[in-house]
Amino acid sequence: MTRRPLALASVMAAIALCLSLEIRTQGAAATASLRLVDVTRTAGLVFEHFTGAFGKKYLPETLGSGVVVFDADGDSLEDVLLPNGTSWPGQTRPGTATANLKFTTGSGSTVSESLTGSGASASAHSVSLAWNPSSSGAVVGYNVYRGTTTGGPYNKINSSLESSTAFGDANVAAGKTYFYVVTAVDGGGTESGFSNQVKAIIPSP
């Protein structure tokens, strides 16, 4: 939060503007020029609005962040609050971000705090697999294998033995094709051969 009383007009404008004002007095026209200069960065106001938009065209994605100007600490100097958005439920903001938060006291001294953050894009696609249970009563679970070429080779993608007959793979990339097979494992750790292969084509994007 930074107090800069003289910079409030430029905070709301957010860009440098040159306005031409026409003043009429007693039938005569005179023109005066008023130039507004963007001083937000030099005033310590560094802000990037994040809507959390991910293509659904929800109403808040189209709205600006707004600005609140008020005397937060009662020192007779206006404080500027710029609220930001966040990710929608189930979505994660990708990339990394850094910022400097500055606090200025009434005596003019400034305290700065560095902020950093990171995130990863949520997977937009997943593959759901289901199979018939083994007819052997000795089977205690299943392993799921995936490859990118028909017929293999395959890599096991479940971290532990799957006790059910269904599996979800969220670690897939848009535009890729994957091939899946399943094996059955008994209580002694003996694993069967591969099942028949199934093919999954991931949409793009």
Q: What is the pTM of this model?
A: 0.43
203 and 126 Cβ atoms separated by less than 8 Å: no
Please give the pLDDT value at position 12.
43
Other Cβ atoms within 10 Å of 13 Cβ, number: 13
Other Cβ atoms within 10 Å of 80 Cβ, number: 23
CATH of the structural domain 127-201, one choice from 2.60.40.10, 3.40.50.10300, 3.60.20.10, 1.10.287.3510:
2.60.40.10
% of the chain beyond a pLDDT of 70:
59
What is residue 88's DSSP assignment? P
pLDDT in tens, 78-114: 877 777 777 766 666 556 666 666 666 666 677 676 6
pLDDT in tens, 35-84: 777 777 677 777 777 777 766 666 666 666 778 888 877 888 887 777 77
36 and 9 Cβ atoms separated by less than 8 Å: yes
The helix (run of H) or strand (run of E) holding residue 95 is: strand 95-104
Please give the pLDDT value at position 37.
79
Cis peptide bond N-terminal to 60, omega within 30 = no
* Ranges of each domain in the chain: 5-93, 127-201
The three-state secondary structure class of 10 is helix
Please give the pLDDT value at position 205.
67
Average pLDDT, the chain: 75
pLDDT at 13 over 60: no
